[in-house]
Amino acid sequence: MINPELLSVAYGLASAIAWGTGDFSGGFATRHDSVFTVTILSQAVGLLILMVTAVVVPVSLPPPRILVYAALAGAAGALGLVTFYSGLARGRMGIVAPVSAIVTAALPVVVGIWLEGPPGWLQLAGFGVAFGAVWLLSRSGGAFNVTSVELGLSSAAGVGFGLFFIFIGLASDTAIIVPLITAKLVGLTLLLIVARLLNKGGLPSLNRLPMICLAGVFDMAGNSFFALAARTGRLDISAVLSSLYPATTVLLAWLILKETMQRQQWLGLAAVLAALVLISY
């Protein structure tokens, strides 16, 4: 029988791979189409897949509190997306991305330790190495001189994503598919409202639809793997492992787009491996 803790680590790593691939696909698509267009359509694709799965695989309606947690997760995720992209538009990616990533990972760690007690010392050390890895992978170089706008928007994005981790973890106690559908539905509705208010969005080019669909598929897979990780193991470990997704994005950009990897990104990849060893021990 597979050790539940090792299974949770595998699920967390799978979510990082899926989310990183989804970010790569979505980032590639946003080079030519509106961020809101790509985000809304990719989220709709993920929702459609989950709804088809719910029809094919018999599912039961979870308790109301689970649906509330899922709805809060969807709202928090939408908040994270809007503020993250606003931060990228008004600030520097080399500041916004790492700050939001660190806050995203740190918030579930605090809540996980509060709910379940602290993990072992090696795992705590792995958390620290993982935070450093995310920072190195996300930074694009340059001196660190953050503005108030960059700090505020990136922190708000991190809080939104971190709350998504927490609430979807709580919603996964008794079910997976229905809570994910609820979260997607609430998040997509809020994104549509914001896009309408800001007069953003529009239809993409047909030749870029496959990449947008891929982003939706992998984002949905990342959500599912994270929910499984949180259900079978600790919330803090699941969140830290899932937050290593920039490693996948960076590697895909290097392999497919032939982008140059900076020295700190190679160090970040090495730190990812070290973190995985420490957390899995």
Mean pLDDT of 135-139: 75
Q: How far apart are CA 30 and CA 24, in angstroms?
A: 10
Q: What is the pLDDT of residue 28?
A: 77
Range of lowest pLDDT (28-32, 93-97, 138-142): 138-142
Give 68's pLDDT tier (boundaries 50, 70, 90).
Answer: very high
Q: Which residue has the tokens 């090792």?
A: 6
Instruction: Please state, in angstroms and rounded to a whole number, the distance separating the CA atoms of residues 157 and 76.
Output: 9
Is 200 in a helix, a strand, or coil?
Answer: coil
140 membership: H or E segment, kind and range: none
Cα–Cα distances in angstroms (integers) from residue 250 to residues 132, 138, 177, 215, 236, in the given order: 15, 8, 30, 16, 24
C-alpha to C-alpha distance for 223 and 19, rounded to whole angstroms? 8
pLDDT computed for residue 58 by the predictor? 80
The model carries a pTM of: 0.87
Range in 146-150, 157-161, 176-180, 266-270 the model is least confident about? 146-150
Task: Give the model confidence (pLDDT) of 70-85 as tens digits.
Answer: 999 999 988 888 887 7
**Identity at 180, one-letter amino acid code:** L
- How many residues appear in the chain? 281
Q: Among 94-98, 107-111, 161-165, 206-210, whose mean pLDDT is lowest?
A: 94-98
- Bigger pLDDT: 278 vs 98: 278
Residue 52 neighbours by CB under 8 Å, 6+ apart: none
* Terminal alpha carbon distance of the chain: 18
* Nearest Cα residue to 100 out of 86, 118, 110: 86
Read off the pLDDT of residues 29-58 as tens digits, 9 standing for 90 and up: 777 777 788 888 889 999 999 999 988 888
Residue in the block written with tokens 């072992």 = 120
- The residue range of the domain holding 220 is 4-280
Has residue 167 got a pLDDT over 90? yes
pLDDT band at 144 (very low <50, low <70, confident <90, very high): low
Domain count, the chain: 1
Cβ neighbors of 212 (< 8 A, separation 6 or more) are 25, 26, 29, 33, 38, 41, 42, 45, 204
pLDDT > 70? residue 162: yes
146 pLDDT more than 70:
no
Q: What is the mean pLDDT of residues 142-162?
A: 78
The pLDDT, as a whole number, for residue 228 is 92
Cα 112 to Cα 19, 66, 274, distances in angstroms: 21, 18, 22
pLDDT for 159 equals: 93
**Per-residue model confidence (pLDDT) at position 20:** 85
**Averaged pLDDT for residues 81-108:** 76
- pLDDT above 70 covers what percent of the chain? 93
Locate 24 and state its tokens: 């790569």
Q: Count of alpha carbons within 13 Å of 84, Cβ hemisphere only?
A: 24
